[in-house]
Structure 1
Amino acid sequence: MKIFARAYQWPPRLAAGAYILNSGLSKAQADRDTAIGVHGMAATAFPFLGEHDPETFVGLFSKAEIAVGAALLLPTVPSLVAGAALTAFAGGLLGFYLKMPGLREEGSLRPSQQGIGIAKDIWLLGIGLGLVLDELTQRSR
């Protein structure tokens, strides 16, 4: 089995991968009320998501989280691929943070008390970009 990550890439891959995989597995067990709540928040930030059934939406979101988490945890997935997947996923989470009313202080990027749990996902974007940039700069050497 070929390993596609350097030793220093493993701590952020493991931390982010375990966190996201756990979140996806938790959503896979979501009941209808939880699905309605998650879907409602997503549809508030991204209205086009309102067209989807809440349980279908949460099921697909769960699968996406599981896939990203697994990509980060599996040593056979290249860091460029895992990092790109994490960057895209984190970008969506931060888009939600920016669009969802009440998550930021008025006229600011600073999180409100309700937004702290989402704003912290900036570290996922940092890890994803770090993996991508590391791989791209390694290739140019």
Structure 2
Amino acid sequence: MASDSIWRSAARQLPLRLPVGTFLLNSALSKRSADQATAEGLQQFATTAYPFLGKLDAQQFVRLLSAGETAVAAALLLPVVPAAVAGAALTAFSAGTLGLYLRAPGMRKEGSLRPTEQGTALAKDVWMLGIGISLIVEGVSDHRW
């Protein structure tokens, strides 16, 4: 009976977990073989919002970013990972990217939360934040019953 409930819950979460998990996995895999110039560009952009990341070597930064994205993707794609855990990982990751959106110059229109053309790629991460929170809520509510 409990196993049946787990599979129903996994099926219900699939439309949330599968697209975001595969998107993040693709992003992570593309960073694994980043050349030096790409690594430096990604790190430089990230340090505009998170200056402490400048202390890392650019290649080390990209490897850690790729590993983090891979871990979040795995949490989403593996149905054995509880929804609350996968949701917490996704929420933390997307909060970081939204922080970059809010802090990096040129991402938002002056005096607004509306994205510029350059900021649209990061602004869409608000959906990942919503999905992460939804998974947390579902995971917590599943354990209450």
Task: Mark yes or no: TM-score above 0.5.
Answer: yes
Amino acid at match of 1:110: R
1:12 aligns with 2:36: no
The structural deviation recorded for 1:140 is 2.5
1:26 aligns with 2:30: yes
Q: CA RMSD in A?
A: 1.3
Higher relative CO (Cα under 8 Å, sequence separation at least 6) belongs to 1
The structural deviation recorded for 1:115 is 0.3
1:38 is matched with 42
1:23-73: per-residue Cα shift (whole Å, max 9, x none)?
A: 001001101010000000001111111111111001000000011001100
1:66 to 58, 70, 94: 70
Give the distance between the partners of 2:117 and 2:23, measured in 1 at CA: 22
1:59-105: per-residue Cα shift (whole Å, max 9, x none)?
A: 00000001100110011111111111000000000001000000000
Give the distance between the partners of 2:144 and 2:73, measured in 1 at CA: 28
Give the conservation status (yes or no) of the 8 Å contact 2:72–2:90: yes
1:48 is matched with 52
* Aligned positions of 1:1-141 closer than 5 A: 5-141=9-145
Give the distance between the partners of 2:15 and 2:53, measured in 1 at CA: 34
- SS of 1:55's partner is helix
The count of residues paired between Structure 1 and Structure 2 equals 140
The structural deviation recorded for 1:22 is 0.6
Identical pairs, percent: 54
Give the distance between the partners of 2:101 and 2:15, measured in 1 at CA: 26
5+ unaligned residues in a row in structure 2: which ranges?
none
5+ unaligned residues in a row in structure 1: which ranges?
none
The structural deviation recorded for 1:139 is 2.2
Give the conservation status (yes or no) of the 8 Å contact 2:10–2:79: no
